[in-house]
Amino acid sequence: MIHIAVMGFGTVGAGVAEILQTNGALLEKRLGEAVALKYILDIRDFPDSPFGALVVHDFETIVNDPEVDVVVETIGGTGVAYEYTRRALQAGKHVVTSNKELVAIQGRKLLALAEEKNINYLFEASVGGGIPILRPLQQCLAANEIEEVFGILNGTTNYILTRMVRFGITFEAALKEAQAMGYAEQDPTADVEGQDACRKICILADLAFGREVLPEQVPNEGISGVTLRDVEIVEQAGWRVKLLGRAVRQADGSVCAYVAPHLVEEHHPIAAVEDVFNAVMVRGNAVGEVMFYGPGAGKLPTASAVVADVIDAAQHRQQRRRIGWEAGGKEVCGGAAALSMRCYLRTKDDLGRVEALFPDCEILSSQKGEVAFITPKMPLETLRQCAEALQVCAKLCVLE
């Protein structure tokens, strides 16, 4: 029998317990042995929960119980979650997590400890919720050199942008809707300012390129500056606005990674991804482009990925999954500085001034006191210098 402990009984932790109960017979059939939830670690009691009797408040109960095979960490953050994960691995227990912040910042260190102990540290649910992306990236696409990975990595921002595009609702009103529906936290900063997507693109880049990319190395810009005026202008020209995380391998092996709002052509598969759904596109040198799509968050979709990792860990108790990446550094990830791209700009300057600075630009809208246009493709540093000479009101990257 496989004994499981869940640390953190919030939305995802409760979903894990529910799936283990509901699909227990199916899991036993697939594993060849039963899976039992033995402990739930939380600072709270849950007297009205069917799992209330399993609650413990002391981590030592879990770490010192030799029967516990797999520990599920759904606490979140990098404080106590890191300490408990480290100690569980040190004790020889497999650990499964949905904690993207912890994986993005401390993943290399925790994977090294798991390798030392010949156990598994798995984190499929940390990117894309219920979408299988990390395991396919390592296994199904293993024959490829990955050239680029990008996608819609945050369901909250995608919901907000969908409401703005489809119904003409302001950012502020759409954010309040998202909070009322439980898609956004009361403090939505990590979502709307791109921090959540930043952590996820770091994990994708780590696995895709085999070198550590840390959140502090990745410039991120959210959607709080996107206005209905910009949405209206670009939609009439056949574009959609999407917040994308993107990581690109350069010819010298370095990585350019960033998070920013983008213009996406309306016929591009990513453009059709709406509401709280996520999508990740991977470009390999053999397969070309493939896309993974599905619910990027939510109780049961995310818990589904967590439990799949529990099964994987149980199946690989004797020979651990070979997962990891090497150290990074400034020479590995330089943000987006080395990229060349087109950008959408809206400025208060007149048309003549715009065309003098960007002679080959594509004008989307021109009226007194406002010009909106797409620049020619150019190095980002050159584009930044030119844009500084204008009174820029809005800037969006263009996905090529």
Which positions are catalytic? 200
Record the tokens describing residue 320, joined without a space.
């651990």
- 85 vs 263: CA distance, rounded Å: 39
Q: Calculate the alpha carbon distances from 59 to 8, 52, 73, 113, 360 in Å.
A: 11, 16, 12, 19, 63
Q: Calculate the alpha carbon distances from 321 to 55, 273, 324 in Å.
A: 30, 32, 9
Residue 390: which of 363, 360, 352, 364 has the closest Cα?
352
- 364 vs 319: CA distance, rounded Å: 57
**What are the residue ranges of helices labelled H in 316-376?**
351-357
Residue given tokens 């010192």 in the structure block: 64
Do 355 and 390 meet the contact criterion of CB atoms below 8 Å apart? no
- 93 vs 368: CA distance, rounded Å: 66
Using DSSP, state whether 224 is helix, strand or coil.
coil
User: Which residues have a Cβ under 8 Å from the Cβ of 107 and sit 6 or more positions away?
Assistant: 121, 123, 203, 206, 212, 325
Record the tokens describing residue 34, joined without a space.
């039963």
User: Which residues have a Cβ under 8 Å from the Cβ of 54 and sit 6 or more positions away?
Assistant: 37, 38, 39, 40
Residue given tokens 């404080």 in the structure block: 79
Tell me which amino acid residue 386 is.
C
